[in-house]
Amino acid sequence: MGEGDGAGNSSEAETQPPSPAFAGSSRPVFISYASNDAPVAQKACSALEAAGILCWIAPRDVVPGTLYAEGIVGAIDESRILVLILSKDAVASPHVGRELERATSKRHPIVALKVDAAPLTRAFEYFLNQSQWIETGAGGADGPIAKLVEAVGRHLAPGSAPALPQALSTPALKAAVSRRVWGIAGAVVVATLVAAYFLVGKAWLHGPGDAKAPQAAAIGDKSIAVLPFTDMSEKKDQEYFGDGIAEGITDLLARIPGVKVTSRTSSFQFKGHNEDVRAIGAKLGVAYVLEGSVRKSGDHVRVTAQLIEVRDGSHLWSESYDRDLADVLKVQDEISLGLVRALQVSMGTNDLVSRPTLKSVESYSLYLQGRQAFNRYDQAGSDQAASYFRQAMELDAESALVPAWLAYVYWTQATFGQAQPDTGYEEARRYAERALSLDPRSELAMGVLGLVHIRHDWDWAAGAVELDRAVALAPGNARILAFHSNAPYALGQWETAIRDLNASVALDPLYANGYYLLGLSQLGAGHWSEAEAAFKKALDIAPNIPFVHAYLANALLFKGEKQAARQQIDLEPDEARQWAGRAAINYALGRRADSDAALKRLTELASPDSAYLIACVHAYRGESDAAFPWLERAFRQKDSYLWAIKGEPYLNSLNGNPRYQVFLKKMNLPEG
């Protein structure tokens, strides 16, 4: 008991405990709790002792006539494990804090039963950084207490490691392998393998029956979301650093075939929210959530990570790393590459070599700030990101990370009208090639180079080669899967493009752009209802995303819902696409004068892609002779949207036209 108030002996406290089932200390478990948590503590004690695990709990086991504090210290020293009833009262209790400190000094493992959502103090965070947590949740304490008994029993079993983060013994590991489908064989790394072990097979803490739990049937056991790491620095000015740690781990885990890793865009939707991790995991469709914190001070960093099972909120593993800042990449490796190596044995993945220390801490800091700026998804953010990345390259010319991301920035600017297409795409090509010269296995650089080949060069074969290489390296990366869809989309291979994008949004369920691209592919395939659903999902996530209202209007127009299409096009923020949509929809409604006026306004805009859009409107209105000169003009000025011509339903009226077949052949596209 954490508080020496002697409050309330229950009838359970007065009963004689059964004979011990485990050798060693006569009372191997010390139960620490605050007085307000006495009912839960007594219930846990009764459950443990019913399983043959003797406990020391105050005031029951304080010997009359001895000093209270002396009795507690002696009991902790003689125990093998401390069970903590973790609550707001326990966090506030100095007695519980001292008991935790004593148990930690004796290297006793700690298993906590968390009964409320109280935040931890720094002291508790420190003492519990290697502890397993089990949360009670809304379903009451019975189930979690049963898990507590199981966990304590496994700690006390003969041959068990004295603390959770210690390496599992090889014989024990081999025994676990024989019992589990996703067993892990071979040499076992330290704490990170424990995280991997729970992710892959849950064999260490749970029995074989847990694989049949309802959630496991609905959500793959090998699925995880990495939440942004909380900035615990004194000045709260290291948010970008915590984000960078989480993003780095996500990118590394995405290289593991067969493991579902929710992408950054979806995981970071919950940044700054106090939502329960079980609810977050359910929304993201994963079995596990990795969360953590960073505390950066000068050239020193402390990173804490913990793995949580979504099904019941239990904290299966946690670890803290105190390192020089130059070793931060190795911290990411220790959290995530341990999992990669474990899966390499059972899944046969390629060896991924751990990265060296940073050559320039300042360069890495600029790189992380660049990624944070880029993630704002606006013109100012892209410009700022490019500036950060260029500064980082000046300090570390041998880093492949920075030019790969700078290439992605330039590609984004060229694609979304933030830069002149020719200039932006050529800069993207230059930095992607530079990154690949430094790291031939950079999937981001390969992906960007492939996109440049497709969207700018119209070299479909070269683009497909690069994108195939990228997705082979990172089959679980939602961004790379979305990139990969560009090659089949350009060629009109809708089934393949839709497959890529369905896989992408499954990994990144809150990524609006993923649903936008999926909608485009469904539109190209003539699946109007499916396109409508995808576009609406994108707008649910990001109501202000450009172009989506226009494409939703297209889907509704081709479904025959002309009035609904008209309402949608008025919501489109991009002026050129709004006027193009109005011209087509008014024509469909029989309002020729309004259609002509909208087309005239579109022609006057002279926007970068207006030639292509003007051609589309003329084709939709059945004016093929007027459409072809605008198509030729779009070709000459290398219109940035012409690469997607096979997916444009406005041009369907041109199918079978010999002039259109000649035009497609000129672009090296299939004519059908």
Provide CB contacts within 8 A for 606, sequence distance 6+.
none
Residue at which a domain ends, from 347, 363, 384: 347
335 and 205 in a single domain? The answer is yes
Residue at which a domain ends, from 327, 347, 367: 347
Q: Considering the domain boundaries, does residue 258 fall inside one?
A: yes
CATH of residue 146: 3.40.50.10140
Q: What gap in Å lies between CA 310 and CA 552, rounded to an integer?
A: 35
Provide CB contacts within 8 A for 440, sequence distance 6+.
none
Residue at which a domain ends, from 347, 370, 400: 347
16 and 157 in a single domain? The answer is yes
The DSSP element (H or E) to which 309 belongs, if any, is strand 300-309
Please state the domain count of the chain. Answer: 2
Provide CB contacts within 8 A for 139, sequence distance 6+.
none
Give the CB-side neighbour count of residue 105, counting CA atoms within 13 A. 10
Q: Considering the domain boundaries, does residue 252 fall inside one?
A: yes
78 and 151 in a single domain? The answer is yes
Q: Considering the domain boundaries, does residue 55 fall inside one?
A: yes
Q: Considering the domain boundaries, does residue 305 fall inside one?
A: yes
Tokens of 405: 């991301």
265 and 316 in a single domain? The answer is yes
Q: What gap in Å lies between CA 469 and CA 542, rounded to an integer?
A: 31
Tokens of 352: 């991924």
254 and 306 in a single domain? The answer is yes
Identify the DSSP state of 17. P
Q: Considering the domain boundaries, does residue 606 fall inside one?
A: no
292 and 151 in a single domain? The answer is no
Q: Considering the domain boundaries, does residue 408 fall inside one?
A: no
Q: What gap in Å lies between CA 369 and CA 385, rounded to an integer?
A: 7
Tokens of 25: 């200390």
Residues counted in the chain: 672
Q: What gap in Å lies between CA 80 and CA 53, rounded to an integer?
A: 11
**What pLDDT is recorded for position 335?**
67
CATH of residue 286: 3.40.50.10610
**What pLDDT is recorded for position 599?**
97
Domain, as residue range, for 43: 11-162
157 and 210 in a single domain? The answer is no
3-class secondary structure per residue, 271-289: CCCCCCHHHHHHHHCCCEE
Identify the DSSP state of 649. G
Tokens of 561: 């819902």
Tokens of 145: 């207490």
User: Cα-atom radius of gyration of the chain, to the nearest Å?
Assistant: 30
**What pLDDT is recorded for position 344?**
39
Q: What gap in Å lies between CA 319 and CA 104, rounded to an integer?
A: 14
Instruction: Report whether 151 contacts 134 (CB < 8 A).
Output: yes
Tokens of 178: 């024989």
37 and 156 in a single domain? The answer is yes
88 and 148 in a single domain? The answer is yes
Q: Considering the domain boundaries, does residue 115 fall inside one?
A: yes
The DSSP bridge partners found for residue 131 are: none
Integer angstrom CA distances of residue 453 from 448, 565, 668: 9, 34, 13
Q: Considering the domain boundaries, does residue 372 fall inside one?
A: no
Q: What gap in Å lies between CA 348 and CA 136, rounded to an integer?
A: 38
151 and 253 in a single domain? The answer is no
Q: What's the N-to-C CA distance of the chain in angstroms? A: 78
112 and 240 in a single domain? The answer is no
The DSSP element (H or E) to which 143 belongs, if any, is helix 142-156
119 and 260 in a single domain? The answer is no
The DSSP element (H or E) to which 321 belongs, if any, is strand 315-324
Mean pLDDT by 10 residues, the chain (672 residues): 37 40 67 89 90 88 73 89 93 88 85 89 77 75 87 78 33 32 27 35 32 37 83 81 83 76 83 80 86 82 82 75 75 58 37 52 86 83 94 92 95 87 95 96 96 96 96 90 96 95 89 91 97 95 87 98 97 94 98 97 83 97 97 92 95 95 95 72
- Taking alpha carbons only, the member of 570, 571, 576, 503 closest to residue 543 is 571
**What pLDDT is recorded for position 357?**
47
- Taking alpha carbons only, the member of 278, 269, 220 closest to residue 246 is 269
The pTM assigned to this predicted structure is: 0.62
